[in-house]
Chains A and B, each alone.
Chain A
Amino acid sequence: MGNMIKVGMGDLKACKCPDALTTLGLGSCIGVALYDPVTKVSGLLHFMLPDSTQIRNNSNRAKFADTGIEDLITLMVSMGANKNRLVAKIAGGAKMFATSGMSEILCVGDRNAEAAKKELAARNIRILAQDTGLDYGRTVEFYSETGDYKIKAVGKGVKVI
């Protein structure tokens, strides 16, 4: 196995086989993994907010679903991926605190998941698998060698999608 490359909050990275990508403690954010099954170029985006056009301060493009996915595709194409072959797996978008009163803030997970699906559909990228919503945090690892997206959650064991 190659190196494990860490992607922070509001960040994106890409790698080639046999490296892997990881992001730790995804909460309401979404981890979008993109993959070209032929060249095995892989990318991971950890975005925080659904839409860059709604926010005035949008200079960090990896923070948003729309600009983040766009930039990740550009980066992966520059590393040899074919845009038309890309497929996606997504995880995250949890509702970390259950309470009334703060509903707008706390539902951002759902909005993020919707935005990811919308932005991927707009670029004709098929979502092969997803693990979104619910109420727990996730650590994800994407393996370029196999295209496996490994999801770990507290008390829930490990699953591979």
Chain B
Amino acid sequence: MSTINLDELNDMQYDVLKEIGNIGAGNATTALAQMVNMKVDMSVPKVELVPFSQLADFIGSEEEQVVGMLLQMSGDVDGMMMFFFNMRSAHNLVDMLMGRPITDDNDSDEFGEMDMSALSEIGNIISGAYLVALSKLTNLTIETSVPSMSIDMVGALLSVPAIEFGKLGDKLLFIQSQLGENGCINGYFLMIPELESYDKILGALGL
């Protein structure tokens, strides 16, 4: 049974989780920047304990259409990892990767087969970079499933982790990192470990 109580995390534990978000997302952002050959900024990560009812407010509105990717983590750390790009960012990313000029008005919700496959590959690379960083930091083994991609309302996509963690409680602790705040790529990482995995992560870091 887990010893951690999400409602009573101390400042130290919050800071450590933030740092994990920082390092993981930092690595992922670097990988992304190298892939598209441009600078991508990253904001200071947030660690939040959020009731399900307010979940989508953290990303925007529930109905906003996004490209979402979901991976399942297993090994020493169980849980899910998700990341989201808004539609414009996803188009920009694909255009950059394919060496096409970036158009400012590309908000369409259509992606070609090639574009989808490129997005999926981007997902693979940046999630890999995130988790390798976390794994190195904690010395824990983390395996992941192949990312699964879906383009839909953010609220609907978030229901998947929410339901899974709804079995444990009414709140979700997630580590969120935003990248490219002012640039042309805007995305979010969500790391959502299971309760018992928090023990392992914090334990591995000496807390």
Contacts and interface: CB of A to CB of B under 8 A. Distances in A.
Interface of A: 8-11, 24-29, 48-49, 55, 57, 59-60, 63, 94, 96-99, 101-102, 105-106, 108, 135-139, 154-155
A139 B153 contact: yes
Interface residues of B, number: 35
Interface string B122-161: 0000000000000000000000011011111111111110
B25 interface: no
Given A24-B153, A96-B152, 19 more contacts: A8-B53, A9-B159, A10-B166, A11-B53, A24-B61, A24-B63, A26-B155, A27-B156, A63-B166, A99-B146, A102-B72, A105-B163, A136-B152, A137-B152, A137-B157, A137-B159, A138-B156, A139-B63, A154-B152
B54 interface: yes
The 5 closest A-B pairs by CB, nearest first: A25-B155, A137-B156, A27-B159, A8-B53, A27-B156
Majority SS of interface residues in chain A? loop
A10 B170 contact: yes
Contacts of A49: 163, 166-167
10 contacts: A10-B170, A25-B56, A25-B62, A27-B153, A27-B160, A48-B52, A60-B170, A99-B146, A136-B156, A137-B159
Contacts of B160: 27-28, 96-97, 105-106
Majority SS of interface residues in chain B? mixed
Interface string B57-89: 000011101000010100000000000000000
A125 B74 CA distance: 42
A155 B152 CA distance: 9
B109 A155 contact: yes
Contacts of B52: 8-10, 48, 63
